[in-house]
Amino acid sequence: MLDLIIRNARLREDGSCVDIGISEGKFAEITAGLSAPAHETIDAMACFVTPPFVESHVHLDTALTAGEPRWNESGTLFEGIERWSERKATLTEDDVVRRATKAIEWEVAHGVLHIRSHVDVCDPTLTAMRAMIKVKQSMAPLVNIQLVAFPQDGILSSDTVPAQMEEAVRLGADAVGAIPHYELTREDGVESLKIAVGLAEKYGRLVDVHCDEIDDEQSRFVEVLSALALRTGLRDRVTASHTTAMHSYGGAYASKLLRFCARSGLNFVANPLVNIHLQGRFDTYPKRRGVTRIKEMAAMGINVSLGHDDILDPWYPMGCGSMLDVAHMAVHAAQMTGRDEMRTVFHMVTDAGARTLYLGTSYGIVVGNPADLVLLDAVDELDALRRQSAARVVISKGRVVARTTPAVTTVSLGGSPHGVDYAR
């Protein structure tokens, strides 16, 4: 007796419809015309089924603080850091837990079940990290949350931050961060990367660096991080986030750099909503888009995934937790509008994200894996991207954790009122 059968779900691989049997939180059988009895049945109505979305980069400790105490009026990264330093002074654990939990609910409602959150560790009391460890533990049965010890103000900005980083790792951070372009000098930036990678080696953690998040074409820390990933053997356990300066590199340098990155196995995470919003702020016209070269990297086989970065915080006054929203911006900003390119962008918010988070083979709709899936109100990836489809049903480890009823609109233009159908 199965616990749950999802009937008539449309697979990504070939568009065929199958029944998915779930037992004890795992995929038990995936086949057409499944005849086994089950305690519960869900009719997927030929909706597209996908493994859960992966949020590769978000800051849950800062989420939902936009306007507190003041709004970021210039829209720059640097005013965002100033506004956050004001808000940070008033943090409590309960405050962080409440906001992060709400943001996670938004993401789960949109089909996200794996989240990598950076957490600012420049506060000597590590209030945000302690709170986020509680959130991670309480969510663990249903939502997988990774935490990155992230030094927002720079590792070498104060004598105490290196020790705070190490304490955050000891407390339970899954990955070590850095922000080399925000250190006082180029040399400090290089040193900060060595410290971060050294900590990851010492404690067996992953690495995820805010790397070259600036429009300055002279900001060149990706090459340092890539070399460290190669030389330490950490390779694909290392991720470069943002890398917006790559948007401004000359072709010759970018070409050489990406070949080296392909060799080292470095993962990249772009945050197109926030990159296009924060970057180019010091340009007149033409204004740069500031999104790193995801199209070229994907074509080279480099692993690229996507994140929100910010949700309603000092750096971004929008966001509601939908990875389809993030992917939609990537399609436009990176001009990835070819049919295969759009499929590649969908891959960036699912399988490629799983690779960045180092989830291994437990991710995916395969017999024996944890029964995690999303039924989208769509026929395929392209349809989901175009319509920003609702996640009708979200299942984590065999349990329904979110349901959305898609909106129904009726039009009356002289003839008889009828429902709007967005299919061609």
Please choose, out of 75-83, 162-170, 307-315, 341-349, the segment that lies near Fe ion by the rule CB under 5 A: 307-315
Q: What is the DSSP letter of 287?
A: P
Q: Which is nearer to Fe ion, 309 or 313 (CB)?
A: 309
- Per CB under 5 A, 309 contacts Fe ion: yes
Mark residues 265-304: x for contact with Fe ion by CB under 5 A, - for none.
----------------------------------------
Q: Which structure tokens are listed for 23?
A: 């037992």
Is the Cβ of residue 56 or residue 303 nearer to Fe ion in the bound state?
A: 56
Minimum distance of Fe ion from residue 210's CB (angstroms): 5
Short-list 58, 11, 46, CA closest to 309: 58
Instruction: Give the contacts of 411 (CB within 8 A, at least 6 positions apart).
Output: 417, 418, 419, 420
- Our CB check for Fe ion shows the closer of 77 and 135 to be 77
What distance in Å separates the CA atoms of residue 201 and residue 7, rounded to the nearest whole number?
46
Q: Min. distance of Cβ 269 from Fe ion in angstroms? A: 9
- Residue 213 bears catalytic tag: yes
Among the candidate windows 11-19, 308-316, 344-352, 383-391, which touches Fe ion by CB under 5 A?
A: 308-316
Q: Which of 29, 213, 296, 381 is catalytic?
A: 213
Q: CB of 271: closest distance to Fe ion in angstroms?
A: 6
Which strand (E) or helix (H) includes residue 52? none
Q: Is 113 helix (H, G, I), strand (E, B) or coil?
A: strand
For residues 58 and 106, what is the distance between their CA atoms, to the nearest angstrom?
Answer: 13
Q: Which region, judged by CB under 5 A, interacts with Fe ion, from 30-38, 71-79, 309-317, 380-388?
A: 309-317
Q: Cβ closer to Fe ion: 50 or 72?
A: 72
| Residue 241 CB, nearest approach to Fe ion (Å) | 6
Contact 211, 266 (CB under 8 A): no
Minimum Å distance from CB 211 to Fe ion? 10
The count of C-alpha atoms lying within 13 angstroms of the C-alpha of 297, restricted to the half-sphere facing its C-beta, is 30
- Backbone φ and ψ for 132, nearest 5 degrees, come out as -70, -30
Could you please report the per-residue DSSP string of 215-265? S-TT---HHHHHHHHHHHS-GGGEEEEE-GGGGGS-HHHHHHHHHHHHHHT
Q: Which of residues 126-145 bind Fe ion (CB under 5 A)?
A: none
Site for Fe ion in 5-64 (CB under 5 A): none
Q: Name the segment binding Fe ion (CB under 5 A); options: 29-37, 305-313, 333-341, 350-358.
A: 305-313
Residue numbers at the binding site for Fe ion (CB under 5 A): 309
Active-site residue list: 213
